[in-house]
Amino acid sequence: MPNQFLNVPVTMPDQAQHLRLVSNTLNNVMDGKINSTGDITLRASQTTTTLTDARIGGDSVIVFMPITANGKTAENNLFVSARTSGSATLTHASSSNTDQNFAYIIIG
């Protein structure tokens, strides 16, 4: 999904248009559309997977929701073992399943 919120200019010659963009963004945030979600599939037969997302920072909290049955099975063994600017290392049990899929949200 394209990031519709990051491309808003800081200043605009047309003040009314600028206020409409700010208002639209604020309304989306109030409706829970904070544009901090994504999805990832854990690597099969591996014990780590790298989540690359420009919104991740060293202090980010990343919450996962399994979206497949094999993701639900892997959920109890999944944790974030490292965070840096733009990526996080996910540590998990090794499994040959190729559909260990999760949706995630990044806060901070």
Residue pLDDT tens, the chain, 108 long: 445 555 666 666 788 888 888 898 899 888 888 889 999 999 999 999 999 999 999 999 999 999 999 999 999 999 999 999 999 999 999 999 999 999 999 998
CB 71 within 8 A of CB 102: yes
- Dmax of the chain from CA atoms? 56
Per-residue 3-state assignment (H helix, E strand, C coil) for the chain: CCCCCCCCCCCCCCHHHHHHHHHHHHHHHHCCCCCCEEEEECCCCCCEEEEECCCCCCCCEEEEEECCHHHHHHHHHCEEEEEECCEEEEECCCCCCCCCEEEEEEEC
